[in-house]
Structure 1
């Protein structure tokens, strides 16, 4: 059963609209102003919203703007109710992302035609989204075999050497072989993990209810995770002296496993794409009522076009640089931040430096 939220301070119009929709099999929710309407939309995630323009506290335009700014409610079909005097302002509403409008007084047939049209359009959008997910699975299927073969070949190659009959190895040589096998195995594990996480992100992104659950259930104290990951990555790169830490405690609205994953990808990139002897700076804390993280390095940098083209299956300048991987780390970090109501920004000067900044909502007390 489809659910439609009606936001209107006119009790007569509200009653008529609800009665009409309920008689035709729809479940209805009601709010008499924009503030209450936004809260109900976020809580119940209706299949459609019908909203008056002239209302107290928040008018229809402000209500629509707030809903469109939140990824959880941004895609919900939205129909304006308007009096004749408001029709000249409809362009403003359509510019904000309204799907349709009804002029008061409207007939039952006009109401049902608008509702049917918008729900059919939303179903078409959903079908296109599902096709995109199928394309994603296909793209991953094409990229995965090549990326898996490189570490697998390393494992098989070193194992084959060790199993060669008639060859006696020194203990040091055996340790070197084992170390290289471990490096290839860890790379293989990380590749598979990244592909799985990216697929989960894309599936979650298309489900507003899952996004809402993700945002409500996350709570992580960040300082210990940041310092631990930073020191581990610096040690792995043999660059402990290059690490610069300025980390204050914060409580981010994100699960610890996701937060750690973002840190691992961003810090690993900072060391991987800069030279030994150049600083890698990591700063974190609370600013303007949100958690902020900044990671900077003085490495090869990125062009403005490369930043704009950040995508799941692009590795920048692969013809010129031989770092392994398919470039999923940065996009995973960005998508995870966005899923949790935050953002990730990249500023860079080619050949000089890069700074990645992440912003996340603070966890609400009690979560």
Structure 2
């Protein structure tokens, strides 16, 4: 049985609504003012809220804004009841996040139809979310063992050799085994971190309320200092500071600094990984006339063939056919998910034996 909260200060109207809903097999809760309605919404967690607009002390708009603070209406349909028909009032309610308006006086049929439409829509959203979670769970079951077997096998083999032959091995051989264990464990750690990050980003992109919450934020990320700092750190890790060329224009983008850092880290990691010492890695930034910020990362390495580029661009981290591109596909998938969240875009061009160009476009902050 669906639970419906009615917030209405006119007691006769509230009783009539309750009678209609009770006869239609809904469990109805009545609040006679906005403050009581907020408290009942927090306690009862109804399936739908009907709320009058014009109420003393706390009107319907204030109730809706207050519920937003507690994330209560993120997943609960909210319908305004109003005697006012001014289009500005309709727009104000929708901008605040209301799902529908029902103008007084309304018939029982109009009331029940409005409720049924919103409850069906909400049920469909939940059904889709559950389906996506099930599919994601199946992907995890299939992919996680595959992604972890390579470093785990290296660790198990080295540990067994140490266990069986440590007494007869030289110090150098033991150190070599220890180094293999260290490298395999670091690789396992990196894979696990990326895997968990990808799953988190997948959750966000499949959660409309969370996605809208992030997109409503007004981020002010200054790109130049981040690129200067972390590009040099990435280059120092592989002892290739001399291969790094920076041509940076200061840009302010609408993205959290931590997420921009992830993009830069993943793309630069790939650029150094798939090029050799002496190949230049160029980072260029610019602002175009359409209020978008451009980031170019140009890798003057061996490039990627058109066939492989298509495979990499369409890469799903659970695809087992790209072992020799291990790390590239997962990193690229993470970048694409972050860009999807912030409504950015990415293009990749590659020329055999010349260069690979990754072009990122992001909205200005």
Q: Contact between 1:248 and 1:284, CA under 8 Å: does it hold in 2?
A: yes
Q: Does the CA contact (< 8 Å) of 1:3 and 1:47 recur in 2?
A: no
Matched with 2:304 is 300
Residue deviations 1:19-65 (CA, integer Å, cap 9, x gap): 8997656334869xxxx9xx98x996573679xxx957999xxx99x
**Structure 1 residue 217, shift from structure 2 partner:** 8.4
Other-structure match for 2:242: 241
> Residue 327 of structure 1: SS of its match in structure 2?
helix
- Checking the alignment, whether the CA contact within 8 Å between 2:205 and 2:340 is kept in structure 1 is no
1:291/1:360 contact within 8 Å kept: yes
Q: Tell me the equivalent position of 2:360.
A: 357
- Matched residues in 2 for 1:224 and 1:21: separation? 62
Structure 2 contact 285–294 (Cα < 8 Å) conserved: yes
Does the CA contact (< 8 Å) of 1:301 and 1:348 recur in 2? no
* 2:168 match: 167
Partners of 1:2 and 1:47 within 8 A in 2: no
Unaligned ranges ≥5, structure 1: 5-17, 68-72, 82-101, 363-367
| Residue in structure 1 matched with residue 230 of structure 2 by the alignment | 229
Q: Unaligned regions of 5+ residues in structure 2, if any?
A: 7-12, 22-27, 29-48, 55-60, 81-85
Q: 3-state DSSP class of the match of 1:311?
A: coil
Q: Provide the rounded CA distance (Å) in 2 between the counterparts of 1:327 and 1:157.
A: 27
Instruction: Tell me the distance in 1 between the aligned counterparts of 2:142 and 2:340.
Output: 26
Q: Verify the 8 A CA contact 1:346 1:356 in the aligned structure 2.
A: yes
Q: Which residue is equivalent to 1:309?
A: 314
Question: 1:360–1:311: structure 2 CA closer, same or farther, 3 Å change rule?
Answer: farther
Q: Find the aligned partners of 2:211 and 2:284 in 1 and give their Cα distance.
A: 28
Tell me which residue corresponds to 1:126: 126
Residues 22, 276 of structure 1: CA spacing in aligned structure 2 closer, same or farther, 3 A cutoff?
Answer: farther
Alpha-carbon distance in structure 1 between the residues aligned to 2:135 and 2:204 = 16
In the comparison of the two structures, how many residue pairs are matched?
307
Question: 1:258-317, CA deviations, whole angstroms, 9 ceiling, x for partnerless residues?
Answer: 3322222221122223454433222236555555432232421555754763434236x6
Tell whether the 8 Å contact from 1:258 to 1:336 is kept in structure 2 after alignment: yes
Mapped to 1, the partners of 2:121 and 2:5 lie a distance apart of 16
Distance 1:357 1:29 in 2: 47
Residues 74-153 of structure 1: matches in 2 within 5 Å?
107-110=107-110, 112-153=112-153
- 3-state SS of paired residue (2:166): coil
Instruction: Please report the TM-score for the alignment, with normalisation by the length of structure 1.
Output: 0.63
Deviation readout 1:84-123 (Å, 9 max, x if unpaired): xxxxxxxxxxxxxxxxxx9xx9854145325413421331
Q: Deviations over 1:226-279 (max 9, x none)?
A: 233323333444443332222344454444433322222221122223454433
Cα distance in 2 for partners of 1:150, 1:357 equals: 32
Task: Report the Cα distance in structure 1 between the residues aligned to 2:140 and 2:16, rounded to whole angstroms.
Answer: 43
The TM-score normalised by the length of structure 2 is: 0.64
Compared CA separation, residues 238 and 256, structure 1 to 2 (3 A): same
> Taking structure 1 as reference, are residues 314 and 121 closer, same or farther at Cα in structure 2, changes over 3 Å only?
same
Larger Rg: 2
- d(CA) in 2 for partners of 1:55, 1:181: 68
Asked if 2 retains the 8 angstrom alpha-carbon contact of 1:21 and 1:28, the reply is no
Kept in 1: contact 2:223–2:251 (CA 8 A): yes
Distance 1:28 1:276, change over 3 A: farther
Residue 139 (structure 1) shift:
1.1
Change (3 A) 1:257 1:141: farther
Deviation at 1:189, TM superposition (A): 0.9
1:333 partnered with 2:335:
yes
Q: Contact between 2:292 and 2:361, CA under 8 Å: does it hold in 1?
A: no
> What CA distance in whole angstroms lies between the structure 2 residues aligned with 1:302 and 1:49?
52
Structure-2 separation of matches of 1:342 and 1:124: 25
Q: Is the contact made by 2:50 and 2:79 (CA closer than 8 Å) also made in structure 1?
A: no
